[in-house]
Amino acid sequence: MSKRNDQDAMSAASATAPETPAAPSAPAVDLSDKTYYIHRELSQLQFNNRVLEQALDERTPLLERLKFLLIFSSNMDEFFEIRVAGLKGQLAYGHEIVGPDGITPKLALAEISDIAHRQIARQYSILNERLLPELDRHGIRIVRRESWNAAQKRWVQRYFRQEVAPMMTPIGLDPTHPFPLLVNKSLNFIVELEGVDAFGRDSGLAILPAPRVLPRIIRLPDDVCEGGENYVLLSSIMHAHAEDLFPGMEVRGCYQFRLTRNADLTIDPEEMDDLARALRGELSSRRFGDAVRLEVADNCPRPLIEYLLKQFGLTEAELYEVNGPVNLTRLFGIVSRSESPQLQYAPFVPAIPKALKKAEDLFQVISKQDVLLMHPYESFAPVVDLVRQAAKDPAVLTIEQTLYRTGANSEIVDALVEAARAGKEVIAVVELRARFDEESNLGLATRLQQAGAVVIYGVVDVKTHAKLMLIQRREGNKLQRYAHLGTGNYHSGNARLYTDYSLLTSEPALCEDVHKLFSQLTGMGKLLKMKKLLHAPFTLKKTLLEMIAREQAHAEAGKPAQMIIKVNALTDAKMIRALYKASGSGVQIDLLVRGTCCLRPGIPGVSQNIRVRSIVGRFLEHSRVYWFANDGDESMYLASADFMERNLDRRVETAFPIGERKLRQRIRKELELYLGDNTTAWQLQSDGSYVHLQPDEGQEPHDVQQQLLEKYCGVGSAPVR
C-alpha cells in the first residue's frame, strides 16, 4: 500500500479521536493483573442481557420484541449446552482452566447460576406482565386452559384424540420401568397418580414425554374464537387430557419440565480415520449428554422437584422454576405465522450495486473493478449468481469453495452440484464441525460427492472458518481467476439477517493467495507465502499484533494514532494486552464488539483510551473490520476472524485487505455511523456492565442500522404502528 499524504485521508483517520498530544512513555503496569480482565462466560451473559433488554424497547415493533425475548431463550439454551457444560466438565475431569481473570470454574459456575436465575426470572416477568398483555390488546392470544370456552374445549378434545393421543407414550415408573432417558431440551411432564392399574402397580408416578413430531403451538380455528389470532400450547392440551392417558387412575398433579444436556461434540483425532463417520456417531449421542440444567413449572411440588434433581444428578443451583412454558423458543411459531405485519419490521428490498444492476456477465464487471457488498442492505444475490454463471459457463474450468454454514436448501450448493455434473472441477472444503449444523453439512457433503465434486473436510483439529470462493476461467490463451471473499457464511437466509461484507475481485495477487490457501487445505506441504492475504493459524495473529504495535510506536513518537476494530467477540489475552499497551501509549482505540468482551476499558494508565461499544438491533452484527490509521497510510482488512483464541490459533481464518481507496473510504464512513449510534449502542464500563446509550437532550437520535437501511434501501427499521 503506497504512502498517502492527502488531507482527506488524514482528516478521516482522526474523525472520532481528539488531537493526540505527544505521549509520555507508557507507564510500567502489570498487565497480568487479573482485575484487568472480564471472565468470558460472565461477559457472554451480559450480551444475553442486552438481547433481553430489546424486548422492553417500545420503539421496536411488538412481535419483534417477542422475537428478542425468544432469541434470549435460544442463546441461554446454547450457553448451558456448551459453555456451562464445558465448565462442569472441567470440574468433573479435574482439568480446571483458569483464564487471565483468575476466576476458577467452580466460582464461575456459582456466579453464572446467580446471574442466570435473575435473568430468566426477569424474562418470564417481561413475557407475562408486558408482552402477552400487549399482544392480547392487538388480538394475538395464547389461550390458557382456564379460559377455554365450551367450543374451544370441544375442539381441543377432538385435536387431542385425533392428533396427540395416538402419538403419546406414557411411562409409568416402577422397578421394571426405570426413569427414562430423556432427549435434550424435550418437553416432558411428571405426573402424580393415585390408584392401582390393571397389573396391580401403584408407584404413583409417571413421565409423559411430549411427542417431538407434534407442533408445540397450535392455531385455534376462527369459528371457535371471537376474532384475532388465537393459539393454544401443546403443553396445555396434554395437561388438560393427561387423565385420558391413565384410564382408571386419578391424576393428582401434572407438571411440565425440561432438561438441558451437554450438546458439545468431542472427537478424538488420534482415534479417528474418517471424520464424517465419527461425526455421525457423535451426533446421536448429543441428544443424551450429561445434564446441566433442569427447568420446571413453578407450581411443581417440592418432593417432585427433589426427585427430578436426584434422577439427573443436579443441585439446587442448576434448578430453574419458571412461571410459564418451559420451552419458550417454540413461541417463534406465533411470529412466523402472524397475520399482523404492522407489528413487525417493515420489509425492505436489498439494493443491487450500480455496477451490477444491468450486468449480464458478472465476470466482465469483476474483471474491471472490485465490487463490495454490505449485507443485508445490499443483496447476496450477486454472490449466488456468480456461482450459477460459473456453473453454466463453458469457459469456467474449476470452482473451489469453503462451506461452513449454508442452510439445508442452499442455492450455492445447487449451483456447485450443477457445475460438477457439467464436468467442471468442483472442490468443496466442507467444515463438518460447524456447531449445530453438522448434520446439514454431512448431507450437503454427500450430495456434492454424489454429483462428482471433490469434498475435503478441512484439517483435523483446525476448523475451516474462512469464507472463500475461487473460480478459474479460460479467457483466450490465459487462465483468469475470480474470487469472492467474505466475513459471513454462504447462507442466503443469514445474509438477510446478519450484517456482513462480501468482496468480488479479480485482483491477481489476492486471487493467487486464495489459490494457495485452497492448495494448503486440500493437499500437504510447507506453508506457502502469501502476498496480501492474512491467514490463521499462521500469519493473522502475528500481523495483527505487529499492526497494533506499529500504531503504538506512532503514538510514542507524538503522532496521531488510532484504530477501529469491529468483531463479534474479544477474548484473546495476547490481543487484549497489546491493546492495553497501545492505549497506555496514547493510541485512541474504538472497539465495536457485539458479544463477549473480556477487555476492561477506562482503567487509568491501562485502557483509558479504549472505548467498547456493542450494537444490538434488528440485524445480527457479524462483520469483522480491522482499521489502523498508520500515520496517514491506513491499513484496512475485512475478515472472517474474531479476536478469540479459537479463531486466531486453532482455525483456518482469513483477513483480506481493501486496496481501493474509494472502498476504504466507504467502509470507514460506515464505521463512523456505528461509532455515532446513540440508540441501539451499549457502552462497556470498566466494571463489566453495559450502559445503553441514549441521545442527549436536543441531540438527534442515530440508529446505525436504520441509517444504513435508508442509505441503501430507501426504508428505515422504525416500527410500523
Of the candidates 94, 99, 91, 48, the one whose C-alpha atom is nearest the C-alpha of residue 73 is 48
User: What are the Cα distances from residue 16, in Å, to 578, 603, 697?
Assistant: 21, 20, 21
Q: Give the DSSP letter string of 40-60.
A: HHHHHHHHHHHHHHGGG-TTS
Is 128 marked as a binding-site residue?
Answer: no
Is the four-CA dihedral 10, 14, 15, 19 of positive or negative sign? negative
Q: Residue 326: which H helix or E strand, with range?
A: none
- With a CB cutoff of 8 Å and minimum separation 6, the contacts of 137 are none
Give the angle 519-575-494 at the CA atoms, nearest 5°.
Answer: 60
Q: Which amino acid is residue 42, in one-letter code?
A: L
Contact 54, 75 (CB under 8 A): no
554 phi/psi in degrees, rounded to 5: -60, -45
Question: In the chain, count of helices (H) and strands (E)?
Answer: 23, 27
CA 714 from chain centre, in angstroms, equals 27
Of the candidates 480, 616, 710, the one whose C-alpha atom is nearest the C-alpha of residue 72 is 616
- Residue whose C-alpha cell is 439477517: 497
Is 498 marked as a binding-site residue?
Answer: yes
Is 600 marked as a binding-site residue?
Answer: no
Contact 518, 427 (CB under 8 A): yes
192 phi/psi in degrees, rounded to 5: -90, 125
Is 188 marked as a binding-site residue?
Answer: no
Q: Coil, strand or helix: which one is 165? A: helix
User: What are the Cα distances from residue 233, in Å, to 77, 214, 240, 256, 333?
Assistant: 20, 11, 11, 12, 11
Q: How far is the C-alpha of 252 from the C-alpha of 202, rounded, in Å? A: 13
Q: How far is the C-alpha of 549 from the C-alpha of 569, rounded, in Å? A: 21
Number of residues in the chain: 721
Given the residues 465, 515, 554, 702, the one annotated as active site: 465
Q: Where would I find the H helices in 33-149?
A: 40-53, 62-78, 85-92, 105-126, 132-137
Is 435 marked as a binding-site residue?
Answer: yes
Radius of gyration for the chain, computed over Cα atoms and rounded to the nearest angstrom: 28
- 705 burial via Cβ count (<10 Å: 0-12, 13-18, 19+): buried
- Residue whose C-alpha cell is 505487529: 546
C-alpha cell at 235: 403443553
- With a CB cutoff of 8 Å and minimum separation 6, the contacts of 392 are 418, 422
Query: Is 465 part of the annotated catalytic residue set?
Result: yes
Of the candidates 661, 677, 562, the one whose C-alpha atom is nearest the C-alpha of residue 613 is 677
544 phi/psi in degrees, rounded to 5: -60, -45
Annotated binding-site positions for ATP: 75, 498, 594, 622
Annotated binding-site positions for Mg(2+): 405, 435
Known catalytic residues are 465
